Amino acid sequence: MSMLSVFTSLLIYLSGVYVFSSKCKHLLMVLLSLEYIVLSLFMFIIIIFVEFDYDHFFPIIFLVFSVCEGALGLSILVSMIRSHGNDFLFFFLCLC
Segments of the chain scoring below 70 in pLDDT: 1, 23, 91-96
Cβ count near 4 (within 10 Å)? 8
Cα torsion at 12, 17, 20, 23 (round to 10°)? Answer: -80
pLDDT at 51: 86
Residue boundaries of the structural domains of the chain: 2-95
- DSSP annotation of 69 reads H
Helix, strand, coil percentages, rounded to 5, for the chain = 85, 0, 15
Please give the backbone phi and psi of residue 13, each rounded to the nearest 5 degrees, phi first. Answer: -65, -45
Q: Would you state the CATH architecture of domain 2-95?
A: Orthogonal Bundle (1.10)
Cβ count near 88 (within 10 Å)? 14
**Does pTM surpass 0.85?**
no
pLDDT digit string (tens) for 67-79? 999 999 899 888 8
